[in-house]
Structure 1
Amino acid sequence: MTARRTLRSAAALAVVAASVLLLGATPTPTPPPVPDDPSDPVRASEYWLDGARIREAWQTTRGEGVTIAVIDTGIGKVPQTFGDAVVGGTDVSGAGRADGRTPLGAVDGDHGSWVASLAAGRGAPDGTGMIGVAPEANLLSISVGFGAAAAVPFTEQVAKGMRWAVDHGADIINLSFTTNTLDWDESWDDAFLYAFEHDVVVVVAAGNRGSGTNIIGAPATIPGVLTVGGVDQTGTASVEASTQGITIGISAPSEGLLGVSADGEVVRWRGTSGAAPIVAGIAALIRSAHPDIAAIDVINRIIKTAMPVADATRPQDPLYGYGLVDAEAAISASIPTVTENPMGDLAEWIRVYRRAETEPQPEPTVTPVAIPPLPAADAPTEPGSPLLPSPDSLRYGTLPLIALTVPGILIALGVTAAARRIRSARVPVRQIPDSEE
């Protein structure tokens, strides 16, 4: 059992120990209550808490013992929201501080804080203010810089951030960004494979049409990640705050979202950048409730228990994936374990497309047909003068020409002589008059 699984197991045992019954009966989890005031205007605005049945899932767990790594622009130092939530961090951009808590980017500086608050924000002690999906989960803040906000190439930042997150205990990694291209740098092959080999769930945003993404791009195209599409408050695929693609695995709210900025202000925003941490938080709830569960089974539970969408393509729709995420069902449903990641196998993809390795072909079993050798070619003739006739030119050229020409001449002469005789016979004898004698 890995160290992270041991921590989750200890947390789960602490939660359910008081309710274990005699005779081996199934214990009923009774997590300590966390203040939650649904009548608070801010808390009431978090419609996904009820729409995705997150409040129901809280009756079982709130994410204790699980760590979510947020690879983004940095998680701000907001005591009420992130005071005891952020347990570590780093900067891979070369522009931030060593703890990864300095917001990077004049435009996107609050993005990482918004994402983290949706995943595991703590909320106020009196049950008011914004609260995250997994309010007892831990966070790792890995700051990256988008565009001009970093001197280090972005692909290098992501690869380094993935490895750091895995090495520092991440159970789930959230990536709320896109590259607007289907392909990805080869350095990401090993980085993402490193996460999968260490049993980490990687949750990725699908991208938004409103920001110019018409179809999903990397890292949402990488086999094995759980790609999240976005829906509005009615559960309909968002036009601006989502996109489409065949790798979308699940859908979650992406419109009318709330987020806590780095300065503590609660703001409204939208996009699959917010849908992804909602799903990452639900993944944390699953791993907390099932401490020994494998990453591939977390993903499988999320997609197998999704709420179906009318008129969506079955089983996987390019807008909705497998459907709308259902936190309570993902935790409590009886789902068989799987042996393969339902969202694809990156190792196999690398083998086929990066290394062009194919399965060995079987040896042929049919006996080859023996073909007799061709007869020897005629010996070449001695070269002669081009001005003298050769046997072939005499045989196929001169003699046939003589044979046809001589009879033709004789016939022509005969015809000419006959014509002269005929004209001579037709001319009358001249009569000389008497006067000329």
Structure 2
Amino acid sequence: MTPRGVLRSGVALATIVASVLLLGASATPPPVPDDPADPTRAAEYWLDGARIREAWQTTRGDGVTIAVIDTGIGKVPGVFDEAVVGGTDVSGSGSPDGRTPVGAIDGNHGSWVASLAAGRGAADGKGMIGVAPEADLLSISVGFGAAAAVPFTDQVAKAMRWAVDNGADIINLSFTTNTLDWDKSWDEAFLYAFEHDVVVVVAAGNRGSGTNIIGAPATIPGVLTVGGVDQTGTASLEASTQGITIGIAAPSEGLRGVSADGKVIQWSGTSGAAPIVAGIAALIRSAHPDLDAANVINRIIKTAIAVPGMTKLPDPLYGYGLIDAQAAITADVPKVSENPMGDLAEWVRLFRRADTVPQPEPTAAPVEVPPLPAADAPTDPGSPLLPSAESLRYGTLPLIAFTVPGILVALGVTAAARRIRSARARTPHS
């Protein structure tokens, strides 16, 4: 891995840096111990590619707290011990301070994320260093998968509130649910964060792990969703996904991270792109403590580097473009009054608590119908073998009326026939 930054349309990093120097960028020594020749430090190509080293001339994140809601931040001397100022476990299987890695497979994930956001780095300028090396960290351990002792949605809702109540200025969420919708309990939890002026940074997810579309919490209005790019600034095919909720793109391939045992590993995914952006958000909040969360997010997206081929904003691959830490801190960006990534409160009003449309009231008076006449009193049905008035009226009498004349006619015809035969018998034959 060469110590090169994110490239834009094939333009070498050296050209970008040269153009910055021509604009009068500061050439003073870096304010943090930093040895770019160190192999580990050199592999952190995003420090130059996203202009983070330049941003360090202004701030390193002092006074800002980043909450990492993940599998727990390991106890690594020099990297995390001074950085982590508090923590808790919401999984039911970790330690009370949130520092015991949770999960046999993903246990190191939280440490990798934290080291990218605010790892301290060694005093001699070597080894892994985070984007905001003077920011504080909160470690909130959660458990992923079906084996978790507490339902995952409950864990996240509780973790969000704990982070806010314990001083988080920024919350990093490097996970996805692979579904567009989210549990209703997250409505209140995320609203709680937004109402307390917290920037929430979320990973978009990775195609390589089966995420073909962005899922919650990256779909929640108001969060800053981070898509991933490779070392050339091109949207990553495996270590990112796409969707209209992406707000910004950051490196997601060839990343470095410190495991819970202190070892530096290489990894990829928007799980790493998100804490890079969370660290830059910490730099902005440190340099501009007067800015609210909406304006921190606005600075990040308004100073993003456009990628050739982007036809609309936000772009489903890059959002508003590639992250630029120096510009996000120093550029003159007009303030906004609303979060450019959406309004969760309005979404909840429309889709969760929509007011019922009043039912129309009748305008005509009801029509009064006169009562029906009283029914006839019931009669004794009598014996079925004896004739009744009804059977006589409708049965016997009509039968007599038609039968008697018929009999008389038949008798008359018979008598006439007999007379004719008698008369023929008395007449002589010739």
RMSD over aligned Cα atoms: 2.3
Contact 1:248 1:320 in 2 (8 A): yes
Change (3 A) 1:266 1:355: same
Is 2:323 the partner of 1:337?
A: no
Is 2:306 the partner of 1:313?
A: no
* Alignment match, 1:250: 248
* Counterpart selection for 2:205 from 187, 204, 207: 207
Mapping for residues 138-177 of structure 1, pairs under 5 Å: 138-177=136-175
* Counterpart selection for 1:130 from 114, 128, 133: 128
Change (3 A) 1:335 1:151: same
Query: In 1, distance between residues paired with 2:329 and 2:169?
Result: 16
Q: TM-score when scaled to structure 2? A: 0.76
* Alignment match, 2:109: 111
* Alignment match, 1:77: 75
Contact 1:223 1:346 in 2 (8 A): yes
* Counterpart selection for 1:100 from 98, 101, 126: 98
Query: In 2, distance between residues paired with 1:117 and 1:216?
Result: 25
* Counterpart selection for 1:261 from 237, 259, 262: 259
* Alignment match, 2:31: 33
Equivalent residue letter for 1:36: D
* Alignment match, 2:278: 280
* Counterpart selection for 1:67 from 57, 65, 68: 65
Equivalent residue letter for 1:238: S
* Alignment match, 1:327: 325
* Alignment match, 2:236: 238
Contact 1:162 1:192 in 2 (8 A): yes
Q: Deviation string for 1:333-370 (max 9, x for gaps)?
A: 11111111100000000000001238999x9xxxx9xx
Q: Which runs of 5+ in 2 are unaligned?
A: 1-25, 364-430
Change (3 A) 1:349 1:279: same
Contact 1:120 1:134 in 2 (8 A): yes
| Runs of 4+ displaced beyond 3 Å | 357-361
Query: In 2, distance between residues paired with 1:225 and 1:313?
Result: 23
Query: In 2, distance between residues paired with 1:126 and 1:304?
Result: 36
* Alignment match, 2:426: none
Contact 2:30 2:57 in 1 (8 A): no
SS state of the match for residue 147, structure 1? coil
Q: Deviation string for 1:31-53 (max 9, x for gaps)?
A: 98210000101000000000000
Contact 1:82 1:122 in 2 (8 A): yes
SS state of the match for residue 251, structure 1? strand
Mapping for residues 384-403 of structure 1, pairs under 5 Å: none
Q: Deviation string for 1:366-421 (max 9, x for gaps)?
A: xx9xxxxxxxxxxxxxxxxxxxxxxxxxxxxxxxxxxxxxxxxxxxxxxxxxxxxx
* Counterpart selection for 1:178 from 176, 182, 189: 176
SS state of the match for residue 320, structure 1? coil
Structure 1 stretch displaced more, 145-154 or 250-259: 145-154
* Alignment match, 1:292: 290
Equivalent residue letter for 1:145: G
* Alignment match, 2:417: none
SS state of the match for residue 79, structure 2? helix
Q: Deviation string for 1:145-176 (max 9, x for gaps)?
A: 00145200000000000000000000000000
Q: TM-score when scaled to structure 1? A: 0.75
* Alignment match, 1:357: 355
Query: In 2, distance between residues paired with 1:338 and 1:79?
Result: 41
Query: In 2, distance between residues paired with 1:229 and 1:359?
Result: 40
Query: In 2, distance between residues paired with 1:159 and 1:31?
Result: 43
Q: Which runs of 5+ in 1 are unaligned?
A: 1-27, 369-437
Query: In 2, distance between residues paired with 1:261 and 1:46?
Result: 16
SS state of the match for residue 82, structure 1? coil
Q: Deviation string for 1:21-66 (max 9, x for gaps)?
A: xxxxxxx9x9982100001010000000000000000000000000
Equivalent residue letter for 1:209: R
Equivalent residue letter for 2:327: A
Change (3 A) 1:360 1:148: closer
Change (3 A) 1:360 1:287: farther
Q: Deviation string for 1:198-237 (max 9, x for gaps)?
A: 0000000000000000010000000000000000000000
How many residues are aligned here? 340
Is 2:87 the partner of 1:89?
A: yes
Query: In 2, distance between residues paired with 1:198 and 1:359?
Result: 32
SS state of the match for residue 227, structure 1? strand
* Alignment match, 2:424: none
Change (3 A) 1:358 1:54: farther
Shift of 1:297: 0.2
SS state of the match for residue 273, structure 1? helix
Query: In 2, distance between residues paired with 1:77 and 1:69?
Result: 16
Shift of 1:326: 0.2
SS state of the match for residue 274, structure 1? helix
* Counterpart selection for 1:346 from 331, 335, 344: 344
Contact 2:31 2:56 in 1 (8 A): no
Contact 1:230 1:253 in 2 (8 A): yes
Query: In 2, distance between residues paired with 1:142 and 1:303?
Result: 28
Is 2:57 the partner of 1:56?
A: no
Structure 1 stretch displaced more, 68-77 or 351-360: 351-360
* Alignment match, 2:301: 303
Identity within the alignment, %: 83
Query: In 2, distance between residues paired with 1:31 and 1:152?
Result: 49
Query: In 1, distance between residues paired with 2:70 and 2:56?
Result: 27
Equivalent residue letter for 1:329: A
* Alignment match, 1:229: 227
Contact 1:75 1:116 in 2 (8 A): yes
